[in-house]
A and B are shown apart, each in its own frame.
Chain A
């Protein structure tokens, strides 16, 4: 905790200087999500010195920490109190920070059952494109005063302002956790997941690698045990889910480009060139493929989904319909009129 520092004034000064000089800023925490979006040219804003947990009261189910706080530190403190971040944000690097996790908006295997990062964001402090340090939301579960600027920040990749502090809702760890491996084909797995999804089963993660369906059960002793008996299969080391979240399964070693497909949960099997790993109970598909972004996007759009490339460049962010892009630009223009925050990270001119 000796490394805790409030550097918000220094960050504010840096933003105000950039506004005066018209300098673009490249916001960076642990630089663990650099494979997403487009490369940004600009003066570095390093958030890692602005770190530390500001407040945490387990009985309030809220933790507030500075943006540069390592995710590892936050998870360790929560773990000690028997709690967790239910959205399991991927680290993708040991230096991953809270600010980066919220700005990237990525969620782990529990996503379809527990919600995304944005669902747990209760409040933020943000340095805006007008050079002000402002507070939105707060530390209470329910708050509908004003526009929900805090949740807008989640997944905005720093393009709308510099996050300096985040309050997140946290939850108790489940009383029991048990993972299973059930050998079966892809079609059969997707059909089973669609059926189980309509029943009150304690499933909290579901992945299929082409050979077997991997399930995580979480809940009370009674529900986990009865589901385990009903579903059968072999027990699996729960470390599997960590490796899936951190892209450390053997699947990710394939040298072909990595794509993330976000599709409606009951989409069924997708016939695409390359190797696939099904995550989020069917709603997220990892694809290793040398096919063009354009061809993948066209195929995935057919089922109502979209494709993100996990390599920096033009093909990373899925394109937006023209009307929606216009409102993205209008919002950027209003919140960051000089365009200093991570210009072009998500889309050109944004």
Chain B
């Protein structure tokens, strides 16, 4: 089932009189950068999920809050959909444009407004890159903890919209755990402050609701993030295993020993071989799985915990446990993991990255399921896994130039996500639903839950003008998607019309 916006199932969008809209924009916002020629619009046709492309109606690149405010008021009056975008690195199509909508690029809001060392916060504009915050805080011995793998390019506004994660989430949390305050504009162009400079604020926790809402509830104009003192030291252990089950058990045993590693990553054999071939990190290419366990904190504690973890890993059946002997080796161990995606890109013309989460105890069952699906669909799957927090990134290898392979990759991807839901997990841990997983939302949530999500949306944007079609599927879409997956002879949503 196609995931590009389909008015038949995703809802009709208002027709836009482009010349009249352009004229109104030029009149109200004479100094706003507007792109409208086909060749200028083309580079914005997709985000990090490049398999899906739609050329937007217009692209606007504002630089001042008042411009965004006026733009939103104008679009609200005229019923024009608005899709917000930061750096466009998202992997779920959350910033995929609409042919009938304006793409609002916030990348020019790129100023760091304040680094407050005593207050341990940074106040920044939404287009500031994730890594730039930590770089600006570094002279104070502070940093911003969430570190999605795209951190050199992705913006903090996008991080808030997607509730971005990274490899250190188990210990340091996701974006939602590291925010103090968000300034936003509603669909009507009204300014709201969510959260505060204090640790809490009166009323409902709208900051928590807004984080990860994928541009559906408002436009982010300023973000205040918490900064943490940089850990004194970080050490990394590399353990190799002859079977994946032992590696999975080792993860549980580390936690059972009362240790919360800064990072705990697993890779399977195909991912190990691809990464080693690319980076030469020193990974054992014949191992069924490796675990990378990073311990960070105060020197004395890290030293003790390294010894404890090494003992646990050996006990759990690791055939070899290596402690990175210096900073260079530590960086090399991580380089293999951090380059796992491009490494897989070298051994296959295309790959498709999934983002399911599962309770860790289900890991052996899910890996077995994935391997069976891989055989059934005739596509290889490499597994990279944030083992500490149960977030899997199966990479499906395919060749888009071979007829039918993209469709098979999508199909097996969908099946993997459904497997995650079946064992009590989720279809997305950190990449977001966007357009990519819009159908699988119908697997994770029932019609009443989806109806409640639409009610939340209606409280902020009753006309549905902000990022239409993302994050929450219509019941119509679920009805059609459900029809493809008839369980026990019963149709889900039996009372809905089907075409």
Contact partner of B205 among A105, A135, A200, A323, CB < 8 A? A105
Residues A241-291 near B (CB distance < 8 A): 262-266, 280, 283-284
- Name the residue among B163, B193, B258, B259 with the largest chain A CB count within 10 angstroms: B258
A-chain residues with CB within 8 Å of residue B190 when the two chains form the complex: 323
Query: For the complex, is B203 an interface residue (Cβ under 8 Å from A)?
Result: yes
Given A139-B424, A317-B202, A327-B206, answer yes or no on A219-B297 (Cβ-Cβ < 8 Å): yes
Q: Are the C-beta atoms of B444 and A145 separated by less than 8 Å? A: yes
Given A219-B301, A220-B301, A264-B198, answer yes or no on A144-B429 (Cβ-Cβ < 8 Å): yes
Query: For the complex, is A160 an interface residue (Cβ under 8 Å from B)?
Result: yes
Q: Are the C-beta atoms of A280 and B357 separated by less than 8 Å? A: no
Contact partner of A116 among B118, B200, B252, CB < 8 A? B200
Residues A134-152 near B (CB distance < 8 A): 134-136, 138-149, 151-152
Q: Are the C-beta atoms of B452 and A262 separated by less than 8 Å? A: no
How many residues on A have C-beta within 8 angstroms of the other chain's C-beta atoms? Answer: 86
Query: For the complex, is B293 an interface residue (Cβ under 8 Å from A)?
Result: no
Given A151-B205, A262-B200, A266-B119, answer yes or no on A143-B449 (Cβ-Cβ < 8 Å): no
Q: Report the minimal beta-carbon distance from A202 to chain B, rounded to whole angstroms.
A: 7
Query: For the complex, is B229 an interface residue (Cβ under 8 Å from A)?
Result: yes
B-chain residues with CB within 8 Å of residue A62 when the two chains form the complex: 359
Q: Are the C-beta atoms of B258 and A173 separated by less than 8 Å? A: yes
What 0/1 pattern do residues 190 to 231 of B give for CB contact below 8 A with A?
111100111111111110110111000000000000000111
Query: For the complex, is A319 an interface residue (Cβ under 8 Å from B)?
Result: yes
Query: For the complex, is A294 an interface residue (Cβ under 8 Å from B)?
Result: no
Query: For the complex, is B141 an interface residue (Cβ under 8 Å from A)?
Result: yes
Contact partner of A197 among B118, B231, B390, CB < 8 A? B118
- Name the residue among B253, B298, B303, B446 with the largest chain A CB count within 10 angstroms: B298
Given A134-B449, A262-B198, answer yes or no on A145-B437 (Cβ-Cβ < 8 Å): yes
Given A172-B258, A306-B196, answer yes or no on A200-B230 (Cβ-Cβ < 8 Å): yes
Q: Are the C-beta atoms of B458 and A334 separated by less than 8 Å? A: yes
What 0/1 pattern do residues 309 to 340 of A give for CB contact below 8 A with B?
00000000111110111011011011100000
Q: Are the C-beta atoms of B177 and A200 separated by less than 8 Å? A: no
Query: For the complex, is A198 an interface residue (Cβ under 8 Å from B)?
Result: yes
Q: Report the minimal beta-carbon distance from B450 to chain A, rounded to whole angstroms.
A: 8
CA distance A306 to B195 in the complex (A): 11
- Name the residue among B202, B297, B390 with the largest chain A CB count within 10 angstroms: B202
What 0/1 pattern do residues 116 to 147 of A give for CB contact below 8 A with B?
10110000000010101011101111111111
The stretch from A15-23, A26-34, A38-46, A53-61 touching chain B is A53-61
Q: Are the C-beta atoms of A143 and B301 separated by less than 8 Å? A: no
CA distance A222 to B304 in the complex (A): 8
Residues A200-237 near B (CB distance < 8 A): 200-202, 219-223, 225-226
B-chain residues with CB within 8 Å of residue A265 when the two chains form the complex: 119-120, 198-199
A-chain residues with CB within 8 Å of residue B230 when the two chains form the complex: 200
Query: For the complex, is B130 an interface residue (Cβ under 8 Å from A)?
Result: no
CA distance A295 to B190 in the complex (A): 29
Given A138-B426, A198-B141, A306-B198, answer yes or no on A331-B456 (Cβ-Cβ < 8 Å): yes
Query: For the complex, is B183 an interface residue (Cβ under 8 Å from A)?
Result: no
Q: Are the C-beta atoms of B173 and A119 separated by less than 8 Å? A: yes
Q: Report the minimal beta-carbon distance from B179 to chain A, rounded to whole angstroms.
A: 11
Q: Are the C-beta atoms of A334 and B297 separated by less than 8 Å? A: no
Residues B354-400 near A (CB distance < 8 A): 357-361, 386, 388-391
Query: For the complex, is A348 an interface residue (Cβ under 8 Å from B)?
Result: no
A-chain residues with CB within 8 Å of residue B450 when the two chains form the complex: 146
B-chain residues with CB within 8 Å of residue A342 when the two chains form the complex: none
A-chain residues with CB within 8 Å of residue B209 when the two chains form the complex: 147-149, 151-152
B-chain residues with CB within 8 Å of residue A92 when the two chains form the complex: none
Given A59-B360, A221-B300, answer yes or no on A324-B141 (Cβ-Cβ < 8 Å): no
Query: For the complex, is A115 an interface residue (Cβ under 8 Å from B)?
Result: yes
Query: For the complex, is B294 an interface residue (Cβ under 8 Å from A)?
Result: no
Query: For the complex, is A299 an interface residue (Cβ under 8 Å from B)?
Result: no
Q: A62-B359, A147-B457, A328-B206 given; name 15 further pairs at CB < 8 Å.
A: A57-B361, A112-B199, A116-B199, A152-B204, A194-B118, A222-B301, A222-B304, A226-B298, A263-B198, A264-B197, A265-B119, A266-B116, A317-B202, A323-B192, A335-B459
B contact set with A: CB distance below 8 Å: 116-120, 140-142, 162-163, 165, 169-170, 173-174, 176-177, 186, 190-193, 196-206, 208-209, 211-213, 229-232, 252-253, 255-256, 258-260, 297-301, 303-305, 357-361, 386, 388-391, 424-433, 437, 441, 444-446, 448-453, 455-460, 471-472
A contact set with B: CB distance below 8 Å: 57-62, 82, 105, 111-112, 115-116, 118-119, 128, 130, 132, 134-136, 138-149, 151-152, 154-156, 159-160, 171-173, 175, 194, 197-202, 219-223, 225-226, 262-266, 280, 283-284, 304-306, 308, 317-321, 323-325, 327-328, 330-331, 333-335, 346-347
6 pairs, A vs B, C-beta closer than 8 Å: A119-B173, A144-B162, A144-B431, A151-B209, A221-B304, A222-B300
